[in-house]
């Protein structure tokens, strides 16, 4: 068996999975002085590379419970991350604001109530008469859309973020192992991980950020964890209608639960729904165009120029995400079927605090 170089001076941590969650953990832990190895057999073919990058924090309409606490912490941590990552990409930023629209009157009343109950939080009601709404209604050939705007939420370009994280990891000389971890076992105070290519990695702790495959590495009789597969999908629409100009739309917004990105004068992206199958069902991409009672002619399946999906994992029987200290030196941080981009900062912050306690 090949042995990876060992360094006994600082605790050595193996991070399994290099999606957004694994990468954030690698950076946060390396900043604390831990020696990091991050393992993943694929580069950029995961759910993180399929994401649209919307950060819906303040727009979340439940202002209590774990989910809100995680969002709130992440909203606070994001500016620090942007500042840190700007060292390697000065262009990186969160493009604000974010708009949520509905054609349903009852839903709009709920949104209005939410904004009125949460003053001074960068939220505003968008009535039919507003300039933004008029433009959106004109493009979607309807009169019924209205909603709210959140000046503190927005979008980070996922490709740009993931590339910047890769540059950071390389620059900090974090070991990247292009390999799949197939077995982990505890031996005295250390963990021994075996990879598909027969590498053996000895570390002081392991952080599992490998989504569904985390279940293959842990003893499910001892640790009661269940994850379900959830597909998320997106389409690109390209039109040649002269009278429609997508640049009159906001850069990103949500209509009746569908997220929309404006790419150019004639291109938009629409994503995503949740589907509990391994592969997209028939017409699942086409269904992404069905979010209005009466849709404009340009919003049709013939205009789809690109489609893609990503497989995410959702905890079964407990809320998302899973943050668990499974046993000494083994942490599970996965199950981000939604909002992995938004929540990455708070999750790596939690892992760091757990490890600090462990290595005291």
Ligand X SMILES: Cc1cc2nc3c(=O)[nH]c(=O)nc-3n(C[C@H](O)[C@H](O)[C@H](O)COP(=O)(O)OP(=O)(O)OC[C@H]3O[C@@H](n4cnc5c(N)ncnc54)[C@H](O)[C@@H]3O)c2cc1C
Phi, psi for 12 (deg, rounded to 5): -105, 130
Q: Least CB distance from residue 118 to ligand X, whole Å?
A: 21
Residue (of 9, 77, 4, 43) closest to 342 by Cα position: 77
| String marking each residue 13-32 x if it binds ligand X according to CB under 6 A | ---xxxxxxx----------
Q: Where are the beta strands (DSSP E) in the chain?
A: 2-3, 12-16, 35-39, 54-55, 98-102, 123-126, 146-150, 154-155, 175-177, 181-187, 190-195, 199-203, 205-208, 227-238, 252-255, 258-264, 267-271, 304-315, 322-327, 330-334
* Least distance from ligand X to the Cβ atom of residue 346, Å: 12
Q: CB–CB of 245/268 below 8 Å?
A: no
Determine the size of the site formed for ligand X (CB under 6 A).
Answer: 40
Considering only 6-14, 48-56, 166-174, 288-296, which stretch makes contact with ligand X by CB under 6 A?
Answer: 48-56
Q: Is residue 97 near ligand X by the rule CB under 6 A?
A: no
In the 8-state DSSP scheme, what is residue 196?
T
- Which of these ranges, 4-12, 273-281, 286-294, 339-347, lies near ligand X under the rule CB under 6 A? 339-347
Residue closer to ligand X by CB (options 245, 275) is: 275
Q: How far apart are CA 67 and CA 3, in angstroms?
A: 41
| Two structure tokens written together for 273 | 């729904």
Backbone angles phi, psi at 168, to 5 degrees: -60, -45
Distance separating alpha carbons of residues 301 and 310, to the nearest angstrom? 20
- Toward ligand X, which CB reaches closer, 70 or 145? 70
Q: Which 233-262 residues touch ligand X, going by CB under 6 A?
A: 233-234, 259
336: contact with ligand X by CB under 6 A: yes
- Write out the two tokens for 239: 């039109």
Stretch that binds ligand X, among 4-12, 34-42, 70-78, 91-99 (CB under 6 A): 34-42
User: Which region, judged by CB under 6 A, interacts with ligand X, from 11-19, 96-104, 116-124, 273-281?
Assistant: 11-19
Distance, in Å, from the CA atom of 252 to the CA atom of 262, rounded to the nearest integer, reads 6
Phi, psi of 344 (to 5 degrees): -55, -45
Q: Judged by CB under 6 A, which stretch of 88-96, 122-130, 159-167, 231-239 contacts ligand X? A: 231-239
**Segment interacting with ligand X (CB under 6 A) among 26-34, 88-96, 146-154, 207-215:** 207-215
- Please state the closest distance from residue 335 (CB atom) to ligand X, in A: 8
What values do phi and psi take at 120, rounded to 5? 60, 30
> Does 201 contact ligand X by CB under 6 A?
no
In angstroms, what is the minimal distance from the CB of 138 to ligand X?
Answer: 25
* C-alpha torsion angle, residues 10, 16, 19, 20 (rounded to 10): -40
Task: Compute the least distance from the CB of residue 61 to ligand X, in Å.
Answer: 17
Cβ closest to ligand X, residue 18 vs residue 26: 18
List Cα–Cα distances, 54 to 202, 229, 234, in angstroms.
37, 21, 13
- Is residue 53 within the footprint of ligand X (CB under 6 A)? yes
Q: Find the binding residues for ligand X in span 122-181 (CB under 6 A).
A: 180-181
Figure out which of the listed residues 139, 339, 346, 348 binds ligand X, where binding follows CB under 6 A: 339
| Min separation Cβ 174 and ligand X, Å | 15
Query: Minimum distance from CB of 281 to ligand X (Å)?
Result: 15
Name the site residues for ligand X (rule: CB under 6 A): 16-22, 39-42, 46-48, 50-54, 180-181, 209-211, 213, 232-234, 259, 271-272, 310, 312, 334, 336, 338-342
């Amino acid at each position: 068996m090949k042995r990876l170089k060992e360094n006994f001076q600082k605790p050595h941590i193996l991070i399994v999975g290099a999606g957004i969650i694994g990468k954030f953990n690698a950076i946060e832990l390396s900043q604390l002085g831990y020696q990091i190895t991050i393992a993943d057999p694929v580069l950029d073919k995961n759910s993180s590379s399929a994401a649209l990058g919307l950060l819906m924090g303040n727009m979340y309409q439940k202002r209590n419970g774990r989910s809100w606490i995680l969002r709130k912490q992440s909203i606070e941590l994001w500016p620090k991350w942007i500042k840190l990552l700007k060292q390697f990409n000065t262009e990186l930023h969160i493009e604000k604001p974010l708009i949520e629209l509905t054609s349903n009157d009852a839903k709009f009343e709920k949104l209005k109530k939410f904004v009125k109950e949460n003053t001074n939080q960068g939220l505003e009601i968008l009535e039919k008469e507003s300039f933004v709404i008029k433009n959106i209604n004109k493009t979607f050939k309807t009169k019924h859309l209205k909603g709210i705007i959140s000046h503190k939420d927005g979008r980070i370009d996922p490709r740009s973020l993931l590339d910047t994280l890769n540059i950071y990891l390389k620059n900090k000389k974090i070991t990247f192992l292009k390999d799949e971890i197939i077995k982990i076992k505890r031996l005295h105070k250390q963990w021994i991980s075996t990879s598909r290519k027969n590498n053996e990695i000895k570390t002081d702790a392991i952080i599992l950020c490998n989504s569904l495959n985390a279940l293959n590495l842990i003893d499910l009789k001892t640790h009661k964890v269940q994850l379900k597969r959830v597909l998320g999908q997106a389409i690109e629409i390209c039109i040649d209608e002269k009278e429609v100009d997508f640049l009159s739309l906001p850069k990103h917004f949500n209509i009746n639960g569908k997220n929309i990105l404006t790419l150019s004068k004639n291109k938009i992206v629409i994503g995503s729904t949740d589907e509990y199958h391994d592969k997209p069902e028939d017409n699942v991409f086409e269904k992404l165009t069905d979010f209005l009672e009466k849709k404009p002619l340009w919003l049709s399946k013939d205009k789809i120029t690109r489609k893609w999906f990503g497989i995410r994992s959702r905890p079964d029987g407990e809320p998302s995400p899973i943050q668990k200290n499974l046993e000494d030196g083994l942490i599970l941080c996965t199950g981000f079927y939604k909002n992995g981009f938004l929540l990455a900062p708070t999750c790596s912050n939690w892992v760091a605090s757990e490890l600090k306690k462990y290595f005291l």
